[in-house]
Amino acid sequence: MLCSLLLPPLMGASLLLPQQKGSAGWKAEVLKTLAKSGLHEKDLGYRPKSWWTAFPRMEQTPFLLPHFRELFASPLDLPFFTRGFGKAIERFLPPQDPSSTKKPGGRLRRLLYYLAVDRMITGFRTYSSNLFPETRREDPLFHALLEVQRRGGQPTRLISFGKEADYPNLRKRLKKDLAKLPTPLRLPLARLILNSLDARTWVQKALRNVPRGLASRIQALNNLGESQGDGNGFFPELEDSWKLLDFHSMAYAGFKACDALELAESELILAMNKLDPGQKAALRHFGFRWNSPLGPILISGTDKDTHRVPHPFLAVDLGGDDQWLASVAAAGPERPLSLLLDLGGADRYSCDENQGPSQGVGILGVGILMDSQGDDHYQIDSMGQGFGRLGIGILADRRGKDRYQARFSAQGAGVLGIGLCLDGAGNDSYRLFSDGQGMGLLGGIGVLGDAGGNDEYYAEPSAEKTGRGDYHSKGGVSVSFAQGAGGGRRGDGSDGHSYAGGLGALLDLSGDDHYKAGNFSLGIGYWFGTGLVWDGGGDDVYESCYFTQASGAHFALGVLVDEAGNDKHRLVGTSGAGIAFGWDLVCALLLDVEGDDSYEAKIISLGSAEVRSNAFLIDLKGKDRYIFGVKKSPIGLGGVDKRKEYGEVRFFAPYNGLVSQVGLFLDLEGKDQYLKQKPKDSPFPKRGNGVFLQGGNPKTRNYALFDDR
């Protein structure tokens, strides 16, 4: 059992675990550098005391995620933690052969578990979701639909005057409408319906204590990203609902729904491959729609279809280039479960702002969209493409060159819930205004995971377009809060209702990828939040502005791990507070394992710590190029600020005199260049190959370390 916990190298990376090569591992090398200044691992991170005035007590801060306290105290464990997310992507996200006769092994369920559920609550492991639908041998689909009618509290027969009515007659209508559906497809569809009913029952159990009025207020809330960071808007219904919600039952429903869709996908593809020409011809123009008491149920054939049915309980499209022009796979209190399965075609999913959330949304419910293959286009306004608020929302696209477009709260965004956007293969494009592409807010978890292809991740940097200008860039650059962003509600400057941040992760297994965003992006943590970026390999470009690329502010964790490739890390505009930067008791770590990389910034970057933070830039291999600085003595390349309060323990905010601040720059191998931006490409003073520098002031536990070996 212990051996199963050891993770093999990923995508050509030479080092995966901190312990993998014993004393030759990167962690040991970091400790060697720290030891030159008399530092030990126990001197890193933070172990807050309850008597520290002005420090928000973690034990009294709602929604703190389980990992936070220990990683806050042990920042060198952050790469191991981050790589666990990458390992889940590597093992379970790449698509399998859809024609395989092997039954699916719960891959989507395992992704839900390892990426999110196990990061929020305990009690589960990964054994099974226990799907055992009792199907009829004769006409199983017909009887499964009758069961939907019964679960909705409606009769399956209308009888008066001693006989069954001729009209309306549900049984006659269902038999007639299903007559042209090939028989081999009926059992898989019946199983999917019954398994969906099972999942829905568990969502209802999860909501059993949540009053309808409270649930309606949760559903009515709009994008929360704009109001929670600085505590501008207080919505007590969030905390009230969480206390009443049974999230274990919600998670169990999510597991069941994942397995139900994955099993149906496998069984339907196998059955369709065995159809004779006549059955395939009949299937081309087949269409079934029933407004069941639990919501519309759609089954469509392999032709090019246009669907305008909003909020279906269950939709299955068996192939063809389709259009979905309404809110789909969007669960809410009135429709606690909503599932969509599309087996193929170049599909277009489009939903405007008037139609509400769409494309894998769980707001006090479970909503999952699974698309098996094809070059698809997903477009929404806000809240979708893998969005969860007090529920679970998943968009899973198996393969194809896909495009994802949204404005806010999308592409893997969780707010006191789980939102996953998962793409298995293809050169994909993700475009967003703000709040997504792996965003966790208020104890929620949001993950964007991509298993392959040369991908583009774009969070609009122009504040003129998003309307969200950041004062750190004179209002011209947008607050992205995207691409691995975890944040909480900072209520210390408003009403005192402070909530811990969530976990946001952007995970890409392979390919030459381009990441572009504004401020607060790319592995950013804020207010007890955790932001993670993991890239398994490829020549990547990271381009952003401020508070970005393994950065954080106010008691947070920000991490970026790149395993391989010749990468470019570039900060533009105000060009700072990034590439391993911490502000106000933050643990920020950027680890690059191998490749000839380049790093460029102007100020407070490249292993820079301020206001008692820990910031680490660690590059293990390659001929690297570092371009930094427009001032005579900028803080960076292993730098710290200096403040009077570091030298004494004060009654107010005593922690500033008790904790250690570390700004560490470590480059282990390769002939590197250290240059200044201005004058252009002039040598940076005192930095070079084979140089060790120590700054700061050890007497005040303030350490600035530069080590090139």
pLDDT tens sequence across 551-595? 999 999 999 999 999 999 999 999 999 999 999 999 999 999 999
**Tell me, what's the pLDDT at 17?**
39
Average pLDDT in the chain: 93
Q: Which tens digit of pLDDT belongs to each residue from 307-357? A: 999 999 999 999 999 999 999 999 999 999 999 999 999 999 998 777 889
Write the CB contacts of 616 (distance below 8 Å, at least 6 apart in sequence): 30, 75, 76, 580, 588, 589, 590, 591, 607, 662, 664, 666
pLDDT of residue 5: 35
Mean local confidence (pLDDT), 512-522: 98
Q: Identify the pLDDT of residue 124.
A: 95
- What was the pLDDT predicted at 12? 37
Phi, psi of 294 (to 5 degrees): -100, 0
Q: What's the pLDDT score for residue 7?
A: 37
For range 8-20, the mean pLDDT:
38
| pTM recorded for the entire structure | 0.95
- pLDDT of amino acid 1: 37
In this predicted structure, what is the pLDDT of residue 99?
67
Is the per-residue pLDDT at 702 higher than 90?
Answer: yes
**pLDDT value of position 31:** 96
Tokens 């990828």 appear where?
Answer: 513
Vertex 590: Cα angle to 41 and 435 (nearest 5): 120
**Whether the predicted pLDDT of 211 surpasses 60:** yes
* pLDDT grade for 164, boundaries at 50, 70 and 90: confident
Local confidence band at 161 (pLDDT 50, 70, 90 cut-offs) = confident
Cα distance between residue 497 and residue 153, in whole Å: 42
Residues 6+ apart with CB under 8 A from 207: 215, 245, 246, 333, 336, 364, 365
Query: Is the pLDDT confidence value at 4 over 50?
Result: no
Tell me what pLDDT residue 612 has. 97
**The two structure tokens encoding residue 527:** 């207010």
In the predicted model, is pLDDT for residue 471 greater than 80? yes
Return phi, psi of residue 243, to 5°: -65, -30
Contact residues for 420 (Cβ-Cβ < 8 A; gap 6+): 111, 112, 115, 116, 360, 386, 393, 394, 395, 396, 412, 446, 447, 449
| Residues sharing a CB contact under 8 Å with residue 319, sequence separation 6 or more, in sequence order | 272, 301, 302, 343, 344, 345
| Residue 98 pLDDT | 66
pLDDT for the residue numbered 353? 74
pLDDT band at residue 159 under the 50/70/90 scheme: confident
Name the 3-class secondary structure at 655: helix
* Per-residue pLDDT at 14: 35
Asked whether the predicted pLDDT for residue 420 surpasses 80, the reply is yes
- The answer on pLDDT for 15 being more than 60 is no
pLDDT band at 13 (very low <50, low <70, confident <90, very high): very low
- The C-alpha atoms of residue 507 and residue 484 are separated, in whole angstroms, by 8
* Cα(185)–Cα(286) distance, integer angstroms: 12
Q: Does the structure show a pLDDT above 60 at 11?
A: no
pLDDT of residue 18: 37
| Cis peptide, bond prior to residue 48, ω within 30 of zero | no
Is the pLDDT at 629 greater than 70? The verdict is yes
Q: For position 137, what pLDDT does the model report?
A: 86
